[in-house]
Structure 1
Amino acid sequence: MDISVVVPLFNEEESLPELTAWIDRVAREHKLSYEVWLVDDGSSDGSWRVVQELAAKNDRLKGIKFQRNYGKSPALYEGFKHATGDVVITMDADLQDSPDEIPELHRMIVEDGFDMVSGWKQKRHDPLGKTLPSKFFNAVTRKVSGIELHDFNCGLKSYRLNVVKSIEVYGDMHRHMPLLAKWAGFKNIGEKVVEHRARKYGYSKFGLSRLVTGFLDLLSLMFVGKYGQRPMHLFGTLGTLMFVVGLTSVLWIGGGKLYALANNLPKELVTQNPWFYIALTCMTLGTILFVTGFLAELVARSSPDRNQYLVEKVLTNDRVGSLRSEV
């Protein structure tokens, strides 16, 4: 199969018929065999009913329905898990991403040899409240990651199949897919200017809070990528430095006390010296960082159920059965 299109969706019942018809038309015109995975992220409208109706008419359309809203990254994770096409393309369900970009995104992977191609919404149809924070976020991410892309958060991207099978997207890490690919060893990352269309139905499901969570995820990802296999290099260094500061303070206070005793100088209680409490705090924090900080990170990363989600239904349209439930 040439392409798998993964479409996360949340309350997008109006746009789905037009989107899937558009994808089908583009794929047929360019003679691309395809499948579309529509991942319903716990919609409260009639989105799943529309997915079922569309899949009944076109066996290339497949669906996944979450029992509740998990977020875009889990939706992508489940879509990637089921994708089988040589090239995997992600796009939003709100019709702001144009399916007309699919053939060129496919060609850049197959012919130009890119591992991943990220879309760049050079001209955006969004208010300043979204575009300005996005520009700032992209500039910081570009500087921190060393990946020269203009738009990390664009939902329209294409991947070689082994890329999506090799990376693990969770939390809100969908904003950092290029960095995830880079850490997995896929460094041939390209960029393509794509059309960004004005929203036709509904409203945006993302608020300004994604700016804060995006930076937190970036910090987390940079830490995991750099220190995930050697956390002692970070926590051990910080813990040792703080412990040394505390120990040095204790020795200094103790030395001062002995000097006063030896020379019959006025004596003050050790507890009257503020450095005593600073020393205790530094030694305690150093011990905590050294012993428990990196262990907690390792436990979290090795948790077997971090990417287990309650999938209510999987619509496959195969001969064995059109629906199956996963829990």
Structure 2
Amino acid sequence: MDITIVVPLLNEEESLPELTEWIARVINEQQKSYEVILVDDGSTDNSWQVIEQLSQSNPCIKGIKFQRNYGKSAALNEGFKAAKGDVIITMDADLQDSPDEIPDLYKMIVVDGFDLVSGWKKKRFDNKLTKNLPSKLFNAAARKSSGIKLHDFNCGLKSYNKKVVKSIEVYGEMHRYIPILAKWAGFRKITEKVVEHRARKYGVTKFGWDRFVNGFLDLATISFVSRFGKRPMHFFGLYGTLCFLIGFAMSIYLFIGKLVVADFALTNRPAFYGSLTFMIIGMQLFLAGFVAELINRNSTERNNYLIEKKLGV
């Protein structure tokens, strides 16, 4: 199969018929085989009934229905597991992403050889205060921490080589940082393409302010895990040792002062409590590193590495 379109959705019953008809028209013009996987993330409207009707009229349309709302990352992860196409393209169900971008996104993977192509909505129709400004902050932080030069990490319109989606796991709010997950998994050919952003035609946005806090927390998580997930002692041990040495040096200074000066008031000095604090924090960090190493070594995933090729093994 040439193309899989994965569409996560929540309460989008009005847009689904128009979206799927548009996708089918574009791909049929390219004479490619395809499937559309619509992932219903716990909709409370008639989205699933619409998906069932669409599937009956077009066998290329498939559906996955969650019993409750798990979030966009979970929907994408299940869609990626079910995908059979050589190229996987994701888009939102609200008609703000244009299916007319599909041919170029497909070509950039198959012909140009990219692993991942992320859309860049250079001109947006969202509210500048609630979406545009926070998105710029997210993107700047993601670029800084990952070294991936993309303008719009969170764009729902992306295309992937099949190897990419089969090598990553998307959870929490990690859908915003899939390019980082891909780079972490060893896929370096990542680029972007300016895509059309359309004004919402039906309904209202499903995202609230809490997504901004969750997004930054997940960015911190992925930055830490990508660097120290297999070697937590390198993080906790380093800072634990530094804290302990600072506290120990302060205690030596106080001890020498007590020996040299007869009326040296040890417990009346801030340095006394500072040295105790630093040494306690240092020991706690060091022990946290040991515990993390024990958990890591006994984890079933401790030696789960992504191997691209093997020779004579």
| Superposed pair shares fold, TM > 0.5 | yes
Give the AA of the match of 2:86. Answer: D
- Among 267, 273, 297, the alignment partner of 2:269 is 273
1:168-317 maps to which residues of 2 (within 5 A)?
A: 168-260=169-261, 265-268=262-265, 270-293=266-289, 295-296=291-292, 299=295
Q: Tell me the CA shift for residue 211 of structure 1.
A: 2.6
Change (3 A) 1:295 1:169: farther
Change (3 A) 1:295 1:66: farther
- Structure-2 residue corresponding to 1:53: 53
CA contact (8 A) 2:240 2:286 kept: yes
- Structure-2 residue corresponding to 1:311: none
* Distance in 1, Cα, partners of 2:124 & 2:298: 40
* Distance in 2, Cα, partners of 1:89 & 1:294: 42
Change (3 A) 1:246 1:72: same
SS of the residue corresponding to residue 220 of structure 1 reads helix
Instruction: Tell me the alpha carbon deviations over residues 46-91 of structure 1, each in whole angstroms, 9 at most, x when there is no partner.
Output: 1112112211222111111112111111111110011010000000
Change (3 A) 1:227 1:257: same
* Distance in 1, Cα, partners of 2:174 & 2:70: 13
Q: Tell me the CA shift for residue 224 of structure 1.
A: 1.1
Q: Tell me the CA shift for residue 218 of structure 1.
A: 1.6
Q: Tell me the CA shift for residue 243 of structure 1.
A: 0.7
* Distance in 1, Cα, partners of 2:264 & 2:137: 57
* Distance in 2, Cα, partners of 1:100 & 1:302: 49
Number of aligned residues: 300
* Distance in 2, Cα, partners of 1:95 & 1:23: 11
- Structure-1 residue corresponding to 2:81: 81
- Structure-2 residue corresponding to 1:104: 104
* Distance in 1, Cα, partners of 2:10 & 2:53: 17
Q: Tell me the CA shift for residue 12 of structure 1.
A: 0.9
* Distance in 2, Cα, partners of 1:292 & 1:143: 28
2:2 corresponds to 1:5: no
Instruction: Tell me the alpha carbon deviations over residues 248-289 of structure 1, each in whole angstroms, 9 at most, x when there is no partner.
Output: 2222222222233xxxx2253x43333222222111111111
SS of the residue corresponding to residue 267 of structure 2 reads helix
SS of the residue corresponding to residue 271 of structure 1 reads coil
Give the AA of the match of 1:89. Answer: I
- Structure-1 residue corresponding to 2:145: 144
SS of the residue corresponding to residue 6 of structure 1 reads strand
- Structure-2 residue corresponding to 1:308: none
Change (3 A) 1:267 1:109: closer
* Distance in 1, Cα, partners of 2:160 & 2:9: 19
CA contact (8 A) 2:233 2:292 kept: no
Unmatched segments (≥5 aa) in structure 1: 306-327
Give the AA of the match of 2:152. Answer: D
- Which shifted more, 112-121 or 288-297? 288-297
- Which shifted more, 295-304 or 51-60? 295-304
CA contact (8 A) 2:116 2:190 kept: yes
State percent identity of aligned pairs.
Answer: 64
Q: Tell me the CA shift for residue 296 of structure 1.
A: 4.6
Give the AA of the match of 2:260. Answer: Y
CA contact (8 A) 2:231 2:293 kept: no
Give the AA of the match of 1:48. Answer: W
SS of the residue corresponding to residue 204 of structure 1 reads coil
- TM-score (norm: length of structure 1): 0.86
